[in-house]
Amino acid sequence: MFKNFKPKLEHLTPEVRKKALEIAQQLMKRGGISEDKAIDQAIVQAEQWFFDMKG
């Protein structure tokens, strides 16, 4: 899952990439969202999570 989105994920740090994939999987489980939108939203949320965590 999400293998087609490597270019969108490769600029992220490993920590943020892992979190983005977790979030994307959660979004896909809820349904009603495409993989592309799930990845886009997950990247934004994961970056925000990282910035919040680092202060």
- Quote the percentage of the chain above a pLDDT of 70: 96
Q: Which of 13, 20, 14 is nearest to 40 (CA)?
A: 20
Whole-angstrom distance, CA of residue 37 vs CA of residue 55: 27
pLDDT of residue 55 exceeding 70, the answer is: no
CB 20 within 8 A of CB 12: yes
Q: How many CB atoms lie within 10 A of CB 17?
A: 18
φ, ψ for residue 24, nearest 5 deg? -60, -40
pLDDT of residue 10 exceeding 70, the answer is: yes
Predicted model pTM: 0.87
